[in-house]
Every structure is written in structure tokens, then in C-alpha cells.
Amino acid sequence: MSFNKSYIGLRPDILALVSGKDLSVLDVGCANGVNGAYLLDHKIASQVVGIELDDAMAKEAKNHYQEVFVGNLDDKEFIEKISSYDRMYDLIILGDVLEHLKDSKKTLMSLLTLLKQDGRVIFSLPNVQHIDVLKHIFIKGIFPRNDRGIFDKTHLQWFTLKNIEILMDASNLKPITIKRNFRFRDAIGSKFPFYGKILKKIFPNLYTFQYVVLCEKNA
């Protein structure tokens, strides 16, 4: 089966922030399970549980994961079902998930009840402050609705770095690492000109395509 390539594939930017071994991991929006499979194969995780909306993707993830819950995180009963299991996690991963939810803060806080006190959370979010957003809105006068990227038509929430900081504060989380994924334009494979380093240094928020955040609970 053919899946949207932007929703599947290994995420080295997220995996690079995972530390430890024999972890219990909750992979939210696990897609076809390649990232959890990597953690298991490298003995970083001893068990991975997934949450996925798409039935076909979840079926593939089940080949690797201990269990995969299939459902919509905007569904109150589905969240309550997941939260009712007597299981706690060392790590919760939300790779490009929160922007697709009606109430990202409420869902995040529900999932955090499953995180061990010394556990960690990794999430990634597209940056709506990116220069391409300004170009399309203020120059072209349109907000595109695409199948991927910053303008993904399934996005229900939009974040800048300040929005991310507000979300963490409201969820009683504190950042350990905030990583920037730079991209010159929204298009996949777009390359910076020779003066790209200067643009990144002077205008880091405008050329950050995506933020990847490692955080933990406030004491």
C-alpha cells in the first residue's frame, strides 16, 4: 500500500534525542512503525506501544510494536481508553502530531499522565513563522492547503517558537533541548543559497522549518 511519504520514514532528528536503553516508549502517531522498530533493533527500547489513526499504517506498525491503539486522539473515549491501561512510559514521542489535533494541550496533558516522573517527551512541530508563510500570505495573498509540510491541509493548530513555549508551560513541561530543522523553502529538497549560514544566524526563526523538542516534567 502507498502512504503519504511525509508521514512515514525514519526520523533521525527525533531519534538523535533519545538516550538510554531498555526504554518503555509510547509512539504517538506511529505511522508504519519504522522509528519504534529502530529503537527496538538497537536495544534502546525494550517495548514500544503505538497510537495511530490510519488502520493500514497501524497494521504495519503491529509487526514491530507490542501493541498499537487505533483511533482518533480527538475522541475523548479513545483517550480515556488509552489512559485507563496500567502502563507507564519512560518516553513519549509525538512526531508531527499536535498540529493535527483540535485541542493539542488537552491531549498532551492526558498523555502525560502515562509518563513516569523522570520520563521524557519528544515532539516535533512545523514552524508557521517560516519565511515561506510570510511569502505566501503577504506577497501572494494566499494560505496554501497542501498534502504535506507547513501548509498541510490536515493541520488544525499552528505553532511558532513562542507558541511551543506557551504549550510546554501550560503542560508543566520544561525544555531540555530545542532543535531547529532549517529549510530555505517549504518545498522538499530546497537548498539554501551560498549565504545561507548568514540567513540562519540573523533570522533563525524565519528559516526554521520545524522544531524538535526534548522536554521533561517540571519538578
pLDDT at position 189 is: 87
Per the domain annotation, does 53 fall within a domain? yes
CA distance to 82, 183, 195, per residue, from 58 (Å): 15, 30, 43
When pLDDT is cut at 50, 70 and 90, the band that residue 156 belongs to is very high
Give dist(CA 24, CA 163) in Å, integer. 29
195 phi/psi in degrees, rounded to 5: -95, 20
Arithmetic mean of pLDDT, 52-64: 95
Q: Mean pLDDT score of the chain, rounded to an integer?
A: 94
Per the domain annotation, does 130 fall within a domain? yes
pLDDT at position 86 is: 82
Per the domain annotation, does 5 fall within a domain? no
- Count the domains in the chain: 1
CATH of residue 24: 3.40.50.150
Residue type, position 217, single letter: K
When pLDDT is cut at 50, 70 and 90, the band that residue 108 belongs to is very high
More confident residue, 86 or 5: 86
Residue identified by cell 506557551 is: 166
Per the domain annotation, does 100 fall within a domain? yes
59-101 pLDDT tens trace: 999 999 999 999 999 999 999 989 888 899 999 999 999 999 9
Per the domain annotation, does 6 fall within a domain? no
157-215 pLDDT tens trace: 999 999 999 999 999 999 999 999 999 999 888 999 999 999 999 999 999 999 999 99
**What is the domain range of residue 138?**
12-217
When pLDDT is cut at 50, 70 and 90, the band that residue 44 belongs to is very high
Per the domain annotation, does 122 fall within a domain? yes
Arithmetic mean of pLDDT, 136-155: 93
Arithmetic mean of pLDDT, 36-62: 96
Per the domain annotation, does 129 fall within a domain? yes
Per the domain annotation, does 3 fall within a domain? no
The arrangement of strands across the sheet holding 173-182 comes to 67-70, 45-52, 23-28, 89-95, 115-126, 208-217, 173-182
Q: Is the pLDDT of residue 149 over 80?
A: yes
Give dist(CA 203, CA 43) in Å, integer. 39
When pLDDT is cut at 50, 70 and 90, the band that residue 219 belongs to is confident
